Amino acid sequence: MTGEAVASNDVVSARVLTVPNAISFVRLLLVPVFAVLIARGQDGWAVGVLAVSGASDWLDGVLARKLGQVSRLGQLLDPAADRLFIIVTLVALAWRDVVPWWLLAVLVLRDVVLAVMLVVLARGGYAPLPVHLAGKAGTFALLYAFPLLLLAQWDSWVGTVAGVVGWAFALWGVALYWFSAVVYLAQARHLLRDTAEPA
């Protein structure tokens, strides 16, 4: 369960064995499954795996709140599964010429920028920032874009429609991803500036 979906009044526990954590772990296991399916050209099954991954990303957050199972491990595991799935999927789709390499580069650059920011914050004694809603929305958009872009390879009206909708989701996902990055950088700058100012 990622911090993006954690309300301020949720109790965060140290539990490991929870239903949401199990779902996130399964999503991690699906990453190599998807990679193998793409490499073998089994696009139908690959689309199914992507669809399951996108649905499970929404489901684990809902269950964590409904069941009162928000955990520290889940706050780390869920976004880690999201990032890994997005990167591996983009590499696979770019390798198949389904998406251009610049799309992968733009998203990786964003994660690199935020990784540097986290290091700077940690050196200043700050924990990772609360995740912005735009970051989660961007992740959702990308996870829904990927199966549609894969379906766009079909030579039919389904492929045409999937391509249009898939690219709409992909571009919105990129925009939201970078918008959230700007928000994080502004928050980090504010914290570090307050620390530098004399009391």
Q: Does 39 score more than 70 pLDDT?
A: yes
pLDDT at residue 163, as a whole number = 93
pLDDT at residue 6, as a whole number = 40
- CA-closest candidate to residue 79, choices 159, 4, 169, 156: 4
Structure tokens of 157? Answer: 């009206």
pLDDT-derived band of residue 74, with 50, 70 and 90 as boundaries?
low
CB 153 within 8 A of CB 159: yes
With a CB cutoff of 8 Å and minimum separation 6, the contacts of 17 are none
CB 11 within 8 A of CB 70: yes
- CA-closest candidate to residue 154, choices 113, 95, 98: 98
What is the average per-residue pLDDT within 37-48? 85
Q: Does 165 score more than 90 pLDDT?
A: yes
Domains of the chain in sequence order: 3-196 (1.20.120.1760)
What is the average per-residue pLDDT within 62-70? 72
**C-alpha to C-alpha distances, 128 to 17, 87, 185, 192, nearest whole angstrom:** 23, 21, 12, 13
The pLDDT tens digits of the residues spanning 88-129 come to: 888 988 988 889 999 999 999 999 999 999 899 888 888 777
Q: Does 1 score more than 50 pLDDT?
A: no
